[in-house]
Each structure stands twice: as C-alpha cells, then as structure tokens.
C-alpha cells in the first residue's frame, strides 16, 4: 500500500497548560513511534494550512471568527470547561484541516492508497458552532464535506472509534443522509451523547460499549453495528476518526483494547474500503492520552494501513 503521513511541527505548538491530558507530548509520542525502521516506506508530507473555505463547510463564519478572536497573543485562554487555546492553536487547527483535506485529495486522485493525519487539536467534539472537548475544528467532518464539494463524491462514511462519542460529527451531519456517522464509544462517558436511539436521518449509528468491555465486546459491536451500516450505505470514501483512548492504558476511559484490537479494527475498516470505494481511506487522529498506549497503537494502526 502507498500510505502517506500528514504531519507538521505546529501540532506540538498548540499548548494547553500543565496537567492537561491533550498535550504536545501526544504528538511527539506519535512522531517517535513512526520513526521506527518499519516505517521507512511510509510517505510523509507536511499538512498545509487549511483554507477557511473548507472550514466554513462545517462551521459558520462567526464561529470561526470567535475562535480566532479568543486566541491570545500570549498565555492560555480557556474557551470551554476543558478546551484551551494558546497563540498557535488557531493556526494548528487550520493545519489539521489542511492535512485532512489534502489527504482526501491525494486518496481520491489515486496518488496514494490511504492516509494517516497526525494532527492536534483533535476534532470530533467540535459541533457546528461550539468548541468543546479539546476540539476547535472538526477536521474529519470537514474532510467529508470537502470530498463532496471538491471531488463530487456522493456518500461519505465516517467511522469513529475514539472512546468518547463524536457529538460534533453527529451534530454536523444529523439531518444529512449523504454522510453516515458510525461510532463506537464508552457510555456513560463524556460528552453524554451517543445512545442507540440517536439516529438522525437514519444516517447515525451509535454502538455504545460499557466500562470494562474489552476486545471481544468491541469486535462484536463493530461487526454487529458498523459493518452492516457501512455495507448498506456503500460509501465512496471512508474517513476514520481514529482515537486511541480505548487502549487499556488510557487514563480517561475504561475500555480495555490492546494493540491487536486496533490492528483488527484497522483491517476491518480497510476491508470495507476495499469493498466499496477502491480502498479509499483517510484516518484522522482524535484522542489517546497514555503516551505509551498511543504510540504503540498508532504504530500498529499505520503498519496495518501500509501492509493491508
Ligand atoms: Zn476521546
């Protein structure tokens, strides 16, 4: 497989303050894990600064202006209970958008087989007009819209296995049957949404897990809920909100996945992409707060993307 990593030094410049779990060391752990010899054939490119026009596909202009205006010249500003911005945060978030959109361009053009966008801040809690849960711009959602607007793709499936429910992505596509949102997550847990009764226009599929569930429950839920939904939907492109906070070492949740489970899940998503959309898959980093668990899981994930 031709797999390309989209990264940028600015992703370590989004500062969140001492003790915050969504910290620059996360991206350093990801970069370090992908420096191993097994990743010699991994293509690499800098995530460009995203275009505001792409951000506006999912977020109103006045919301984007509010985030920009909240960005301090120095120090940190808290814009939600747990969402912090520093001087470089707005630009970092724009590079996350740019990386995700360029990854879509490259996968759709056939330049590469699949992509991993190693960006922070994460995005899936960002609703249309609300920053929350460490997230400013919802890059997975924007990438889906970009695929439709710039490339004319009809149906985009977003699979989300971050341990927290992607309320932002659900919000953005709530009444839009052209985008399937299928999420596996722990419930109850932040942000509180994600029950099976939340179905939008029939395009929202939530598969909640409970604290203590491990690989078997995760795999069963994936096969029972996600696989049939994607199969019925027949997407033209799959975008993966790849959080790694279901890892057993993660301090923010209680799902006990191992790297082998992430390997299996990556393979399942790739099989779906092969079946319906020529393998077209863009994976975007979301959460994952134990540095060791995150690094190992990302390495496993990207290795599977590369080897098929
Ligand atoms: Zn998460």
Average pLDDT of span 189-199: 98
* DSSP sequence for the chain: --EEEEE-GGGG-----TT-SS-HHHHHHHHHHTTSGGGTT-EEEEPPPPPHHHHTTTS-HHHHHHHHHHS-SSS-EEEETTEEE-TTHHHHHHHHHHHHHHHHHHHHHTS-SEEEE--SS--TT-BTTB-BTTBSS-HHHHHHHHHHHHH----EEEEE-SSS--HHHHHHTTT-TTEEEEEEEESS-TT----TT--TTTTEEEEEE-TT-BHHHHHHHIIIIIHHHHHHH--SEEEEEE--TTBTT-SS---BB-HHHHHHHHHHHHHHHHHHHTT-EEEEE-----HHHHHHHHHHHHHHHHH-
CA of 109 to the centre of ligand 1 (A): 31
Segment 106-115 mean pLDDT: 98
Residue 159 phi, psi (nearest 5): -100, 135
Q: Average pLDDT, stretch 119-139?
A: 98
- Which residues place a Cβ less than 5 A from the ion ligand 1? 162, 164, 243, 245, 287
Ligand 1 center to 289 CA (angstroms): 8
Query: Which residues contact residue 216 at a Cβ distance below 8 angstroms, ignoring those fewer than 6 apart?
Result: none
What percent of the chain clears pLDDT 90, i.e. is strictly above it?
Answer: 99
Q: What domain count does the chain have?
A: 1
Whether the predicted pLDDT of 83 surpasses 90: yes
pLDDT band, residue 137 (cuts 50/70/90): very high
pLDDT at 297: 98
The mean of the pLDDT values for the chain is: 98
- Non-local CB neighbours of 152 within 8 Å, separated by 6+ positions: none
Output the CA torsion sign for 194, 132, 20, 116.
positive
The Cα 263–Cα 155 span in angstroms is 26
- The C-alpha atoms of residue 294 and residue 36 are separated, in whole angstroms, by 15
Confidence of residue 1 (pLDDT cuts 50, 70, 90): confident
pLDDT digits (tens, 9 = 90+) for 271-305: 999 999 999 999 999 999 999 999 999 999 999 99
Q: Which domain holds residue 168?
A: 3-307
The tokens for 269 are 């998503």
* CATH, residue 16: 3.40.800.20
- From 125, 146, 164, 247, active-site residue: 125
Mean pLDDT of 125-130: 98
- 125 flagged as catalytic: yes
How far does the centroid of ligand 1 lie from the alpha carbon of residue 14, in Å?
17
Where does the pLDDT of residue 176 fall: very low under 50, low under 70, confident under 90, or very high at 90 and above? very high
Tokens representing residue 270 in the block: 């790739």
Cα–ligand 1 centroid distance for 183 (angstroms)? 12
Residue 257 contacts residue 294 (beta carbons within 8 Å): no
Instruction: Tell me the CA–centroid distance for residue 164 and ligand 1, in Å.
Output: 4
Residue 224 dihedral angles phi and psi, to the nearest 5°: -85, -30
Identify which of 41, 43, 120 has the alpha carbon closest to the alpha carbon of residue 284. 120
- pLDDT (tens digit per residue) in 196-244: 999 999 999 999 999 999 999 999 999 999 999 999 999 999 999 999 9
- Token code pair at residue 209: 């897990």
pLDDT in tens, 11-63: 999 999 999 999 999 999 999 999 999 999 999 999 999 999 999 999 999 99
- pLDDT (mean) for 187-204: 98
CA 157/CA 134 separation, integer angstroms? 23
pTM: 0.98
Ligand 1 geometric centre to CA of 186 (Å) = 10
Work out the percent of the chain whose per-residue pLDDT is above 70.
Answer: 100
Can you give the pLDDT at residue 206?
Answer: 98
């Amino acid at each position: 497989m031709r797999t390309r990593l989209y990264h940028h030094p600015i992703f370590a410049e989004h500062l969140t303050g001492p003790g915050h779990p969504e910290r620059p060391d996360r991206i350093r752990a990801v970069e370090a894990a992908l420096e191993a010899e097994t990743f010699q054939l991994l293509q690499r490119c800098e995530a460009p600064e995203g275009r505001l026009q792409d951000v506006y596909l999912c977020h109103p202009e006045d919301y984007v202006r509010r985030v920009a205006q909240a960005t301090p010249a120095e120090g940190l500003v808290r814009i939600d209970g747990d969402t912090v911005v520093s001087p470089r945060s707005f630009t970092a978030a724009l590079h996350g958008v740019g990386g995700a959109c360029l990854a879509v361009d490259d996968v759709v053009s056939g330049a590469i087989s699949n992509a991993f966008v190693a960006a922070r801040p994460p995005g899936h809690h960002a609703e249309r007009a609300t920053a929350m849960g460490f997230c400013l711009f919802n890059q997975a959602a924007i990438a889906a819209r970009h695929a439709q607007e710039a490339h004319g793709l009809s149906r985009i499936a977003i699979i989300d296995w971050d341990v927290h429910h992607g309320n932002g992505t659900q919000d953005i596509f709530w009444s839009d049957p052209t985008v399937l949102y299928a999420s596996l997550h722990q419930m109850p847990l932040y942000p509180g949404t994600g029950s099976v009764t939340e179905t939008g226009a029939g395009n929202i599929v939530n598969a909640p897990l409970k604290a203590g569930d491990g690989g078997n429950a995760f795999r069963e839920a994936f096969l029972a809920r996600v696989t049939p939904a994607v199969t019925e939907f027949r997407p033209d492109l799959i975008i993966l909100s790849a959080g790694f906070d279901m890892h057993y070492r993660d301090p923010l949740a209680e799902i006990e996945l191992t790297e082998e489970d992430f390997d299996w899940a990556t393979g399942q998503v790739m099989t779906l992409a092969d079946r319906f959309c020529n393998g077209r898959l863009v994976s975007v980093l979301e959460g994952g707060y134990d540095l060791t668990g995150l690094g190992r899981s990302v390495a496993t994930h990207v290795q599977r993307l590369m080897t098929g």
